[in-house]
Structure 1
Amino acid sequence: MDRLVKADVKEVELVFIGGQKSTAAFRLTNLMHTMSVAVSLTTQSPSFFSFNKPFSIIPPLSSSSYTLLSQRSDQPPLSNPPDSIAVKTTMLPLGKAHHDDLRHLFSKPGIHIFKDATLPISFVGPHVIQHLISSHTYIADVDLFLNKAISGCSENQLTWLLKSAVVSGEPNLVCSLIVHGGDLNDKDTKGRSLISLAVEAGNFEVVNVLISYGCEIDNSVDHVLHYAAAIDRVDLIDFLLRAYKNVNLDSVDLCGRTPIHIAASYGYTEMIRFCLTVGGNPEVLDINRCTPLHLAAQEGHLDAVACLLEASNYSKYALNKQGKTAFALAVENEHSNLYDLLHLGDALSRAARIDNVNGIKSLLAEGANVNGKDQNGWTPLHRAAFKGGIESVKVLLNHGAQVNLVDDNGYTPLHCAVEAGHVEVAMLLIAHGAKANVKSLVPLNSDCFKNHPSYVQPVCHEKERA
């Protein structure tokens, strides 16, 4: 005979709840027609597992119920191979015996002892899965434990666990929970999708899994590009733009801000550059009529300010709801490193235009950029040369003004001086290395200049008026 009893299960499942004792019931049936059978139940971890009846007697062709108990624990004692129940039996001709007699009987090995069954012990339920999700240590065979634990979870519990796995950044667990019934398109309390949670967590692999399974987003609440911008993840923004055709970089959140606003507020220059490269608008106004430049200036982000100034002529002069420019916000928050970019350069250009030599010196002493350009690409030297301010030109040159910088139309300060007829300024610039081999240098009022085949309609006067 191969065995004396038969178990009603192949595996005993314990619903694990952290900090509580767990119990699981199973039955054994005596297969003998005429003889009682004595049963012994043991595990490899007697300090953690116990039985309501470690020794028992089952009459012929009868069944008996047993309860496996586990001690309290904060986390399930997962192992592979798992702990198991060893079911040992022996025939009992008299049909009865005292507990101590049974203990003594099973303590002696021999052919009279049958090992009828080995029942693996599995921990199931949401607490097991949450442990797998939140564990910060490596767990071997995690998929094995997960697949067993899932059998003790409802669909709602699987969905709750799916959210937890998404936030924790566990792509394999996310995939398994979706396959076993977790609701891929469930929403959080704010109505946001799992994609939003994954992007906020910054886990590219989880985002990829969710998208591959068809997770949907609602643009009115799922500001996924904003979340990616907030954590400076260019790779995520790029991936999301490719995956969802209905998202765009000019979309606004509840504050009317675009992803560029968000990146600007944190000073993420590379993120700003990427957004601009793929078509983002740097001049969108939020609900407070702030441009991204306002936010970058308010926080003192020098590189971000410089990047936004390169991309927008308007933003530097835009007024928010309080009537403040980006420069005003920089001053208000004492970000003196931004003054030149946002204002001193303008003041320096104005001083150069009116030949205010003392003003030029003062502004340069305060840190104004001698080679800073205005919205038309003109430097202070362009302005001074066009106006013929010889003393201003000298001061600027002595402070490092570059004589061959060109404006947006390719004009150098020398062009401006010649076109305006300021010979002395032109000669001074040439003496400082200005190149005279570009465009015509004939005075503007010369008929031969107008009839020259290389004549180009001058733009300096239009810029000056601007």
Structure 2
Amino acid sequence: MWDNWRLQPLHYASAAGHVDIVNLLIGKVDLDPKDIYGRTPLIHCITNGHIATASVLLENGANIEFHDGTNWTPLLYVINGGRVGIVDLLLHKGAQVRPMMKTHKFMSQPLRERHLAVIKLLLERGAVEKIRRFADENLLLWAAEKGHHHLGRRLVLHEEFRTPISTNGVTAPAYASEKGNCEIVMELLEKEISPNERCSGRELPLSYAVARGHVSITKELLKHKADPNARFGKGMDGQMILFKASKLGNPDIIEGLVTWGADVNARDANAWTPIFHTAYNGHLSATEKLINRGADLEVSNTSDKTPLWIAKKRKHTEVADLISSHLEIV
């Protein structure tokens, strides 16, 4: 007896988690009838999170490796749904992770918090390549975005997760740097991932860290030999990363860049040095930092204007006074 979807009473009872009804049906009906999509009562049961009902079905001989029309097994369904309790149950009952490599259908659910424990559990089972194949997503980038430091530390142990670039061309170190996930950045650097690997047509990890104002990450990248004189972006008038830090006015990042070798008097296409940008934007502390680190105050740009002239023109009185006081000392 079934309906238009080929759903039988055991399908309905299992999907609803009615253990008593399932027990009544066991021994009287086939445990693995297929609906129109090739799904068994066990699959309906576990996709709805009914662990007790799943246990009853399995104990009575339900096929744990049954493949539906898309070649998915029950285990793949609960991995997709992020149901760690049932994933654990199926693994303990002997479910195989190999089908994750064979299916033509990747996870349909976007990765969410509930998938965290599932991924950890699969890593413990050594299913590294299987996870990477089935998820069709860079898990390390996901861990960096979500701030899952423990998972990130586990993932970077495996080269399979360290090296891929995501679909939008961002490397894992760059993504973690942009998101401010210092722990994952440190783990990647300790695994000798280069901090000078530019994203596909995009930025360096240091560029992202500076642009987002992540001081600790900037220092870690520099400590691991990130180039302090690297160019910021692509086709940006030859500007170095220090120029971006100066525009944003972050004195701590400026200090870090200069300490590790950034040229405090580098010029862009308009002959502006970093101090022109701090003067233009009125960044008092950043201007003072550049002055203390040897910025040339008498330098002129292509329009023959000095940082002092820029500060006065922009009506940044405090910055202009600071520059004037140091010019008088000189």
Q: TM-score per shorter chain, which class?
A: 0.5 to 0.7
Counterpart CA distance in 1 for 2:96 and 2:276 is 73
Separation in 2 of the partners of 1:205 and 1:309?
32
Aligned with 1:240 (options 155, 174, 178): 155
1:150 pairs with 2:62: yes
Cα distance in 2 between the residues matched to 1:250 and 1:23: 49
CA contact (8 A) 1:263 1:269 kept: yes
Report the CA distance shift for 1:276/1:162 in structure 2 as closer, same or farther (over 3 A).
Answer: same
Structure 1, 227-236 or 318-327: larger mean CA deviation: 318-327
- The match for 1:226 is 141
Report the counterpart of residue 132 of structure 1 in structure 2: 45
CA contact (8 A) 1:289 1:320 kept: yes
**Residue of structure 1 in register with 2:78 after alignment:** 165
Return the structure number with greater helix share: 2
| Partner amino acid, structure 1, of 2:155 | L
Q: Which amino acid aligns with 1:170?
A: R
Question: Which residue of structure 2 lines up, in the alignment, with residue 84 of structure 1?
Answer: 24
1:27-84 Cα deviation digits (max 9, x unpaired): xxxxxxxxxxxxxxxxxxxxxxxxxxxxxxxxxxxxxxxxxxx9x7894452247453
Change (3 A) 1:277 1:166: same
Alignment map for 1:274-423 (pairs within 5 Å): 274-296=187-209, 301-303=212-214, 307-308=217-218, 311-312=221-222, 314-315=227-228, 317-323=230-236, 325=239, 337=248, 350=265, 362=279, 365-369=282-286, 372=289, 380-383=291-294
**Alpha-carbon distance in structure 2 between the residues aligned to 1:360 and 1:337:** 9
Q: Would the aligned equivalents of 1:263 and 1:272 in 2 still touch at CA under 8 Å?
A: yes
Structure 1: segments with no counterpart, 5+ residues: 1-13, 25-69, 86-117, 352-357, 373-378, 400-423, 426-466
TM-score between the two structures when normalised by the length of structure 1: 0.43
Structure 2: 5+ residue runs without aligned partners?
34-38, 267-274, 299-307, 309-317, 323-328
Q: Distance in 1 between matches of 2:277 and 2:247?
A: 18
Q: The residue matched to 1:321 in structure 2 has which SS? A: coil
> Is 1:22 matched with 2:11?
no
Q: Note closer, same or farther for the CA distance 1:380–1:310 as it changes in structure 2 (3 Å cut).
A: farther
Relative distance call for 1:153 and 1:268 in structure 2 (3 A) is closer
**Equivalence for 1:206:** 118
Name the CA distance, whole Å, in 1 between partners of 2:97 and 2:7: 27
Alignment of 1:418-433 (within 5 A): none
Relative to structure 1, is the Cα distance of residues 325 and 275 closer, same or farther in structure 2, using a 3 angstrom cutoff?
A: farther
Q: Alpha-carbon deviations, 1:365-400, whole Å to 9, x = none?
A: 43442564xxxxxx5324279x9xxxx9xx99x97x
CA deviation digits over 1:301-343, x for unaligned, max 9?
A: 222x662255235255314332365769969xxx975666778
Structure 2 CA distance for aligned equivalents of residues 146 and 338 of structure 1: 63
1:132 and 1:142 in contact (8 A); partners too:
yes
Question: Which residue number corresponds to residue 272 of structure 2?
Answer: none
Whether the 8 Å CA contact 1:294–1:329 is kept in 2: the answer is no
After TM superposition, give the deviation of residue 235 of structure 1 in Å: 1.3
Q: Secondary structure in 2 aligned to 1:186?
A: helix
Q: Could you tell me how far 1:290 is from its partner in structure 2?
A: 1.8
- Answer with 1 or 2: which has the greater Rg: 1
On the 8 A contact 1:264/1:296 being kept in 2, the answer is yes
Amino acid at match of 1:307: I
Q: Is 1:171–1:205's contact at 8 Å kept on the other side of the alignment?
A: yes
What displacement does 1:208 show?
4.2
Identity of aligned residues (%): 13
Alignment RMSD? 5.4
TM norm structure 2: 0.57
Would you say the 8 A contact 2:42–2:74 is kept in 1?
yes
Match of 2:172 among 244, 255, 259: 259
- Contact 2:79 2:118 (8 Å CA) reproduced: yes
Give the structure with the larger strand fraction.
1
**Number of residue-to-residue matches in the alignment:** 276
Q: Is the 8 A contact 1:256 1:287 kept in 2?
A: yes
In the alignment, the residues of structure 1 paired with residue 227 and residue 47 of structure 2 have an alpha-carbon distance, to the nearest angstrom, of 49
Specify whether residues 120 and 370 from structure 1 end up closer, same or farther in structure 2 by C-alpha distance, changes over 3 A only. farther
Q: Find the aligned partners of 2:248 and 2:278 in 1 and give their Cα distance.
A: 18
